[in-house]
Amino acid sequence: MIRTRSLSTWKARHAIVVWIGVILNLCFVLPLIFCPEWLLSLFGIVVNQVIWAQFAGLLLGILSIFYIPASIDIDRYRIFAWLQVFPSRTAGVVFFLLAVTVFDQPIGYITGVLLDGSVAIPTLICLLNISRLEQELADGGRS
């Protein structure tokens, strides 16, 4: 009973973390689509063609939609839960970290590292705990 309750707790935590990530993404999606110059100026980023920032916002919004099924039913959409961490959030962290540290892009892009990293790590922790508890339950509760 304890392990089952713990498993459902980790699944609920996963759902909360995913929804926080989706909401954080939307905080970027809407401004990127409707007022990209304003949002980017907050981070010291200047673009010549705002259409690319708008398109990036649109893609981020579409990507965020794919996070939702696993937050509702992680058992049915487990692969989406893992894909949210690898490659999705991890790729964002690596991309923006390299952009700033290797390719000399504005420091404002570190926001992408912070956003994706702050969601990827707790999501990964939840998934690892869910997998561990499910394995323990499958093994008959032996640890």
At 140, the pLDDT band (50, 70, 90 cuts) reads confident
Q: What is the pLDDT of residues 57-96, one digit of tens each?
A: 999 999 999 999 999 999 999 999 999 999 999 999 999 9
| Chain center to CA of 108 | 19
Q: Say whether pLDDT at 2 is over 90.
A: no
Q: Say whether pLDDT at 20 is over 90.
A: yes
The gap between the terminal CA atoms of the chain, to the nearest Å, is 15
Q: List Cα–Cα distances, 100 to 25, 49, 107, in angstroms.
A: 20, 20, 6
What number of other Cβ atoms are within 10 A of residue 75's Cβ? Answer: 10
Take residue 29 and report the two structure tokens written for it.
């999606």
